[in-house]
Amino acid sequence: MAAEQSKQATGEIPSSGGSNEHSLESNTVIVVLGASGDLAKKKTFPALFGLYNNGFLPKGIRVVGYARTKMDEEDYHKRVQQYIKAPIPAMKEKLQEFLKICTYVSGQYDEDESFQTLEKALGEIEAQYEDKNAPKNRVFYMALPPSVFTTVAAHLRRNNYSEGGINRIIVEKPFGSDLDSSRKMQEELKAEWKEDEIFRIDHYLGKEMVKNLLVLRFANVMLDASFNKSLISNVQITFKEPFGTEGRGGYFDEFGIIRDVMQNHLLQVLSILTMERPVSFSSEDIRDEKVKVLRYIPPISKDEVLLGQYVGAETKDGKKPGYLEDDTVPKDSICPTFAAAVMHINSPRWEGVPFILKAGKALNEQKTEIRIQYKDVTQGIFAEITRNELVIRVQPGEAVYLKMNSKAPGLSMRTVPTEMDLTYKRRFSDLKIPEAYE
């Protein structure tokens, strides 16, 4: 499925190509569908505010929320700012400015009449543009369950398409539950929208350390030269969450940890980490190199897969319920909440190196990291020494550190493990790291 994604967004509003030769410099409306949901409240609106606050949104931008929930403008603004952090007075003023450009429309996802109501609201906004003849641009971001993607896309195309302007429709994983359903969804989307108007995104590609992988690898000769089967023993990519489904088991049980995290987020990280150097930073060139890596990966052996499901336990914070104790989860569910799998890349560079992908919920900590373990010194005076390891921490607390061996101070030749450490919070303390959705 990852190989079939034709575009990857990393936080920018897409502005090249598309319906015509104009760019999204002005006269643009962003419509957030599913505006009352968790994704919109916790991620989409804070990201939009971050872009607005830093001047990255088009001039005169307007944001329209659309959802089934009935609420007035005041309630909508409360939801929008619920998860937005504005710690300083200047930012609080900017937040009030942002709220003024945010409006709300209530409607269904399967009725033309509702989308015609949305069209009326968009028309009223666009009637205020200074240049009445300028193209009217619309970006539709679907913070919605994938089950309604194609239905909503069809209604938007029929009722809300801006003729002569730039149109963008943005959908995020999961794109179906398997290859067949993913292809079916792609066909239905492309039946209504042009390919260069559809943006399929994985927000993990917007994380700072994931974006940094290309630079770390190809801008540092010593690292790139060591990324091969002769020097590397294994690579571990780990995703851990300390919380369970917590009332959202209905959604999770439909997909499980493999479809929710491994086949998209972790597979994207794996492909960027192991691909050959692209010709350029263009999305097409990067995609081509990632696809080459994916084609080298054979089917995973069942003997190299471990699945699990978390159970209830007593902790210092009290009793933590198990997965099957969640009222939104079927009592006979065998859905995995933990998975570990060994993957192999049968390319000249990586043949024989195991890549271990691990992901789970309700674990002991919040962490996403990449561990690249180098081969041991097998003989000579340092045969028993600790192996070298390059660790790239994606979250929380972005960092890169190289575990090395050094002589301990003093008269003896005793060796000690040490770390060359680049912790972003210390090194870049004066810079704000954008959220992945930005």
Q: DSSP secondary structure string, 218-280?
A: HS-HHHHHH-STTTEEEEEEEEE-S---TT-HHHHHHHHHIIIIIIIIIHHHHHHHHSPPPSS
The band of 219, judged by pLDDT with boundaries at 50, 70 and 90, is confident
Q: What is the DSSP string of 377-406?
A: P-SSTTTTSPPPEEEEEEESS-EEEEEEEE
Please state the rounded mean pLDDT for residues 338-351: 94
**Whole-number percent of the chain with pLDDT over 70:** 85
**How far are the Cα atoms of 27, 115, 161, 190, 389 from residue 139, in angstroms, in the given order?**
11, 15, 10, 17, 43
Q: Do residues 95 and 103 lie in contact, with contact meaning Cβ atoms separated by under 8 Å?
A: no
Is 31 or 135 the better-scoring residue by pLDDT? 31
Neighbours of 354 (CB within 10 A): 15
Q: Which of 77, 203, 265, 344 is catalytic?
A: 265
Q: Do residues 6 and 17 lie in contact, with contact meaning Cβ atoms separated by under 8 Å?
A: no
Least confidently predicted of 128-132, 277-281, 345-349, 370-374 = 128-132
The band of 369, judged by pLDDT with boundaries at 50, 70 and 90, is very high
pLDDT at 347: 93
Q: Where in the chain is the domain with CATH 3.40.50.720?
A: 2-201
Largest CA distance in the chain: 83
Least confidently predicted of 26-40, 308-322, 398-412, 418-432 = 418-432
Please state the rounded mean pLDDT for residues 105-124: 91
Among residues 322, 302, 184, 176, the alpha carbon closest in space to that of 249 is found at 322
- Annotated catalytic residue 344: no
pLDDT at 1: 40
Per DSSP, 44 falls in state I
* 62-67 and 28-33 beta bridge pairing: parallel
Q: Where in the chain is the domain with CATH 3.30.360.10?
A: 206-427
- Distance CA(103)–CA(89), nearest Å, equals 23
CA 393 to chain centre: 15
**How far are the Cα atoms of 23, 107, 222, 258 from residue 67, in angstroms, in the given order?**
28, 6, 51, 29
pLDDT at 357: 96
* 397 φ/ψ sector (left φ>0, alpha ψ -120 to 50, else beta): left
CATH class (in words) of the domain with range 2-201: alpha beta
Is 292 or 59 the better-scoring residue by pLDDT? 292
* Strand-pair partners of 394: none
pTM of the model: 0.78
12 pLDDT above the threshold of 50 = no
Q: Which two tokens stand for residue 372?
A: 């690249």
Please state the rounded mean pLDDT for residues 30-34: 92
Q: Do residues 62 and 99 lie in contact, with contact meaning Cβ atoms separated by under 8 Å?
A: no
Taking only the tens place, the pLDDT of each residue in 65-92 is 999 989 888 888 988 887 787 666 777 8
Among residues 232, 221, 218, 230, the alpha carbon closest in space to that of 276 is found at 218
The sign of the torsion formed by the CA atoms of 41, 44, 46, 52 equals: negative
Q: Which CATH architecture has domain 206-427?
A: 2-Layer Sandwich (3.30)
pLDDT at 352: 93
pLDDT at 234: 93
